[in-house]
Amino acid sequence: MCRYTTPSCFHQFKSGNAALIKGFVLSNMFSLLDFVALLATVLVIDALIPDKLRHIPTVGPSGRLTSIFGAIHHVFRSKELINKGYTKYKGGIFKIREFGIGWNVMVTTPQLIDEIRRRNDVLSHDAGSEFFLQSEFTMPGMLENQWQIPIVKSHLVRDSEIEKTFPGLIEEIQHTLNELLPPSSVSDQWLTVNGLDMSHRLLCRTNNRIFVGYPLCRNEEFMKVNIKHATLTFTTAIWLRFVPQFLKGHLSPLYSGIEREVRKGIDILRPEIERRRRCMKIYGDQWMDKPFDFLQWLMDARPNLGDDDASMRELTCRIILMNFASVQATSSHFTKVLYKIIEHPEYLEELRQEVESVVSTDGWTRAAASKMYKLDSFLRETQRLSNAGAVSILRIATEDFTLHDGTFIPKNTVVSAASEPIHHDQEIYEDPHTFRPWRFLEETESGELKTRRAAHTTNLDYLVFGHGRHACTGRFFAMATLKCLIAYIIMYYDVKFSEDTTSVPENWIMGINLPNPSVQVRFKQRDKAL
């Protein structure tokens, strides 16, 4: 029999451990009291410190200190939180705590969205962009003076100007795909590649045909520099949100990798920039075989930039900034559209018929791309369902002001539009959670189908590219490129996921919908291509 089962032994056990139990309780009581005191202090501070945003409803804990738990929740459940706020406070305003931002005040109505995008006098678009990219540390000087924007508007917005880029664009698409998917490898079997890696390489090569021209666009080291720089800049910008402002400037190891890629880019571009400077000095504005690319447009716009290190850095950083948008934004759109085509093979034949019809008539031209109405609607619907971010039109208040509905917004407050739930609002979009690729088509009087709203257009209920004066300037060229890439792939290749993938789950972090980096895509060249 166990020695603790007799009454006397049990009594001795209780008596012997009573002192231990008492000591445990007494020793931990002070810890418990300390915790209670700390909690009381936090609550008192929350109550006493003025909170100029207390009048705006909150999703999650609303205290200045306790809201840190809401910020933690936002890191991994941003989409869920914003949808919850939209559902509960639709028609008004709510706020969510985020790391680095503090409170993000989100508007939900077309009237308020229109107001925040128009109030350039008190809401700064540039400050919002600088915060999102942490540009003071990741790309110093690039966003403070964006003198490249007028050049984008001159050459990469109007159809007549984009048309001039198409011969080089199509040639580079063909060459890059033949290199990434060699005909000998895919003619009679499936070739498996990583979807995101292929997207980065394909978009970087193709767009650099227009950014720096041939043959630099095919320089393998230059492509690696741009992809690595974009990745490092984006990840660094995210991590810096967790760092107090006074410490950000001291984290040199974070920035050294970015700076290293910039210096590599300067070394690669320097000989070409020097060659072009010599030609400009000798021949003036025009010379035989003068490049038609973004680098030359930059040099023409700033002829005073010489061959010194500062000028080399200025030109290189502007090219790298264009590549950042290409690698991070356009490639994200591309992968999502490609994955959606694979997930919905029932629409593939209709898309192919449209592409073949217009290309047979107009060739691979801007005019042909503009007539791919079904493909355009497919792109727009994919972007609506799989937006790159949960919010849009991110602004920072430069002074205290009041919205037309009476809501007071103090200086330095972040204000944005809750775009993710707006794109899934059943009062705006019928059956909003269902992928309907022809949603944006309409029938003309002659019975033809045309796009009601093109993939690059914006409005108050479609905020993929923002809206208004500060909507993404490069979206016209980006969508034209994207159309050509997708059209070329579906015309000349069969595509599917690897055997262990049937669909691609979303990949949200801190309000950003990132492409899934692990998806493998299989390609096989069609008989038509052979």
Q: What are the pLDDT digits (tens) for 127-145?
A: 999 988 999 889 888 888 8
Tens of pLDDT, residue by residue over 233-246, are 999 999 998 888 88
Tens of pLDDT, residue by residue over 386-395, are 988 999 999 9
Tens of pLDDT, residue by residue over 434-477, are 999 999 999 887 778 888 889 999 999 999 999 999 999 999 99
Stretch 140-160: mean pLDDT = 89
Q: Are residues 237 and 316 in the same domain?
A: yes
Residue range of the domain that includes 371: 148-388+424-461+464-525
Tens of pLDDT, residue by residue over 202-221, are 999 999 999 999 999 999 99
Flag whether 16 is in a domain. no
Using CA atoms, how far residue 355 sits from 365, 381, 389, 438, in Å, is: 12, 18, 30, 15
More confidently predicted of 5 and 455 = 455
59 neighbors 79 (Cβ within 8 angstroms): no
Identify the pLDDT of residue 440. 96
Identify the pLDDT of residue 296. 96
Q: Are residues 411 and 428 in the same domain?
A: no
Q: Are residues 71 and 184 in the same domain?
A: no
Flag whether 24 is in a domain. no
Q: Are residues 370 and 469 in the same domain?
A: yes
Q: What is the DSSP string of 455-500?
A: TT--BTTB-BTB-GGGS-TTHHHHHHHHHHHHHHHHHHEEEEE-TT
- Residue closest to 209 by CA, chosen among 264, 258, 262, 156: 156
Identify the pLDDT of residue 19. 54
Q: Are residues 63 and 131 in the same domain?
A: yes
Least confidently predicted of 64-68, 120-124, 324-328: 64-68
Q: Are residues 226 and 369 in the same domain?
A: yes
Task: For the chain, give the percent of residues with pLDDT over 70.
Answer: 89
Q: Does position 327 have pLDDT exceeding 80, yes or no? A: yes
Flag whether 444 is in a domain. yes
Stretch 45-58: mean pLDDT = 73
Flag whether 37 is in a domain. no
351 neighbors 381 (Cβ within 8 angstroms): no
Least confidently predicted of 6-15, 29-38, 279-288, 477-486: 6-15
Q: Does position 366 have pLDDT exceeding 50, yes or no? A: yes
Flag whether 361 is in a domain. yes
Identify the pLDDT of residue 106. 97
Flag whether 263 is in a domain. yes
Count of structural domains within the chain: 2
Give the domain-ending residue among 423, 447, 479: 423
Identify the pLDDT of residue 34. 60
Stretch 144-158: mean pLDDT = 91
**Mean pLDDT, the chain, whole residue set:** 88
Flag whether 107 is in a domain. yes
Using CA atoms, how far residue 385 sits from 103, 203, 424, 507, 513, in Å, is: 26, 22, 7, 13, 11
Q: Are residues 445 and 402 in the same domain?
A: no
Q: Are residues 200 and 250 in the same domain?
A: yes
Q: Are residues 157 and 91 in the same domain?
A: no
Q: Are residues 402 and 521 in the same domain?
A: no
Flag whether 19 is in a domain. no
Q: Are residues 123 and 226 in the same domain?
A: no
Burial of 239 (0-12, 13-18, 19+ CB in 10 A): middle
Provide the CATH number for the domain around residue 238: 1.10.630.10
Residue with tokens 């309409």: 442
